[in-house]
Amino acid sequence: MKRLASRFAALCLAVSLCCSLLTITASAELNAIQKPGEYVGQAQYTDIVTYINHYAIPSFVVNGYPMVAVEDLNKYGFDVLWNASNRTLRIFRNTSKIYPEPIPVLLPKDSQLGTKQFDVRASDIKVYINDYEYQIQGFSAVSGYTHIYVGDLTALGATMYYIADNKAVNIWINGMSIAEYQRPTSTKPTAYNIPVQQVAASEMVYYDYIDENMPEWARATVTKLVNKGYIKGDSSGRLRLTDEDLRYFVVNDRAGIYGN
């Protein structure tokens, strides 16, 4: 029988966060999977940052509980497998992923702190940890992503604690490199000195930003499409483009479909 992942770590964190958040309401029932579409709460802008081995990861806090996107965990030492036929996501720890591909994180402006970012609802996508041993709650907030409570990663052997002085939620996993602690700002994301890694041919690669990670031959086309408003990122500015997307856009651009 499926078992729900423990919420003990998340509950402990909620108690610690109460001194930092403007408002903490009672959490939704944590010992049952909520119905798809059920309202969970508001994500508010916060200056609390979530880290995995000191690498910042995009997150938000709802009712005192930090959430992260399941899909983002692919870049932080985990494998995430999507099954479209039954709409499930499975999360596994991948010890071969020694170095992460951290996503740039920016803090909100002071004027945004405590204000509404978006509504969060229970997702119809089922999320499993450790090959169906645990079913955990998935949430719908940002289009194209499924979110979970970060405390659910403790079911994969991670440890979690909150450091009030740093306003940091720290997740620690074995087998992945550890960065020097850095705090992002509202204008400059953290930058890490990570060795260049060869990505396995079978691993899906996403290009979230027009930077040195995106193939040079595609940057001009993607820049054009972004400037024209044909491509838009999510609330964090991530484009989520694949190699197939890039080839499709570039071919069309060379054919003159997008104009000058």
Residuewise pLDDT in 10s, the chain (260 residues) = 444 444 434 444 444 454 444 333 333 334 467 888 899 999 989 999 999 999 999 999 998 889 999 999 999 999 999 888 889 999 999 888 889 999 999 999 999 998 999 999 999 999 998 766 678 888 998 878 999 999 999 888 899 999 888 899 999 998 899 998 999 998 888 888 887 654 444 456 778 888 888 889 999 999 999 998 888 887 667 888 888 889 889 888 887 888 88
Dihedral through CA 41, CA 43, CA 44, CA 47, nearest 10?
Answer: 130
**Every domain of the chain and the residues it spans:** 3-172, 205-260
Q: What does the block give as tokens for 19?
A: 């001194």
Q: What does the block give as tokens for 81?
A: 């497998």
Q: Give the residue from 153, 157, 180, 193 showing the smallest Cα distance to 59.
A: 153
pTM higher than 0.75: no
